[in-house]
Structure 1
Amino acid sequence: MNHKIIVVGIGPGDPAYLLPKAQTTIENARILVGGKRALVDYSHHGVHECAVGADISGVLAFIEESLAGDDVVVMVSGDPGYFSLLDALRRTFPLEQIEVVPGISSLQLAFARLALPWHNARLLSFHGREPLTEELFRSSDAVIGMLTDGRNNSQTIAVRLLACGWRDEDIMYICTRLSYADENIITTTLGAAKMDAGIGHGVIIVCAHEENV
């Protein structure tokens, strides 16, 4: 158990948002695991790679085999603590064998772009999962930050929230391609979003209208 799994958050996408500690860890890695895009961005000469895809069990087996000879650096988008491969690693390997280098999450960047505090926000994910109905309730000061995918997008989420007591006039921010040159943030309302074409694969932040008067 001498070798470690070092889980590195690589941020929202643009390397400018990669923390120096994360960059140094990746540059010094001899075994590197990550998504295909991350490997294209951060691979270097002499590193042994494994791309993360649908076969998570295969990735875990690669990591286990590789630990016999060296540390394994696992790159995950955003921050490792928010819906990443870290969950599967914790279920598979001893906790004392896992080290985590945090990163800037897309949710964190979205709140920053809006100059909106997020200490009281409810953070959820519609990315490949379904939040519980009780997590979607509205209150006068409610703020919800959500990851989205192609199926769960601005239109479907607006309909879902309105069915949970939210109001047409409540504000929705649709944030896509965060940190990239073509970053886009749309400000709309739930009432308008339910009628518009859905936009997914990003971050949505919804605020009760009282917070925006």
Structure 2
Amino acid sequence: MEHTLYVVGIGPGNPDYVVPKGIETIKKATVLVGSERALEDFRAPGQTTYAITGKLSILAEQIQQELVSHDVVVMVSGDTGYYSLLPYLKKKFPNQPIEVIAGISSMTFAFARLGEVWHDADLMSFHGRQPSPEQLAYREGKKMGFLTDPEYNPAHIARILCESGWPASTTAAALERLSYDDEHIVRGTLESLQDLEGFGHSVLVVLG
């Protein structure tokens, strides 16, 4: 019998924001894979678990071994189709049945927290990559959302945007720990956010 690799988006992280189908799949898992934080929040007694670390090649070997005998459920933060582990898993397991259960991306969650729509926003990531100068160019009324990392945090990105011609008075907001009790949101301008500390893995929303 061929076993299935399930990829489940767990949204911003709080179990309250995982779709029911995702929760059901996670609870029924024999083998569960996810970040340390996700495993703490979602694992059930009796499940075999593997933590996602920087050593993805080792993780892929562990998943391959488990798929011989069991279905495997991999939890990914945010939405499965938005800068997730899904492309890597599809490349590593091209002949394996894969079922994807979408979640809420941290980006859409951030816009919701601000009471803003995102259908007219340019969504980009500074997490492990850098948008082109053309993507960052100023245009009046332009709206953008960025995933950040410790190097390219909101303060750093705010400086880059100002150097790229964005008015320092442009409205912006940095959001981290979304959906958790210690959720932290700072609203301001590109100028004020340049002094913001922390907010490594977070979301920056710019409302031009």
TM-score for the superposition, normalised by structure 2? 0.94
Distance in 1, matches of 2:110 and 2:95, equals 31
- Aligned residue for 2:40? 40
Offset at residue 196 of structure 1 (A): 4.5
Q: What SS class does the counterpart of residue 50 from structure 1 fall into?
A: strand
Offset at residue 194 of structure 1 (A): 2.5
Question: What amino acid is the match of 2:162?
Answer: L
Q: CA RMSD in A?
A: 1.6
Between 79-88 and 18-27, report the one with greater CA deviation.
Answer: 79-88
Q: Does 1:185 align with 2:185?
A: yes
CA shift digits 1:113-162 (9 cap, x unpaired):
11111011111111232222222122122111111122111211011111
Q: What SS class does the counterpart of residue 172 from structure 1 fall into?
A: strand
Q: Does 1:27 align with 2:65?
A: no
Structure 1 unaligned residues grouped into runs of 5+: 209-213
CA shift digits 1:56-105 (9 cap, x unpaired):
01111111121111211000111111111111011112276211101111
Question: What amino acid is the match of 1:171?
Answer: T
- Aligned residue for 2:99? 99
Percentage of pairs with the same residue? 45
Question: What amino acid is the match of 2:207?
Answer: C
Q: Does 1:124 align with 2:120?
A: no
Distance in 2, matches of 1:158 and 1:186, equals 13
Q: What SS class does the counterpart of residue 129 from structure 2 fall into?
A: coil
Question: What amino acid is the match of 2:8?
Answer: V
Structure 2 unaligned residues grouped into runs of 5+: none
- Aligned residue for 1:207? 207
Q: What SS class does the counterpart of residue 134 from structure 1 fall into?
A: helix
Question: What amino acid is the match of 2:20?
Answer: P
Question: What amino acid is the match of 2:132?
Answer: L
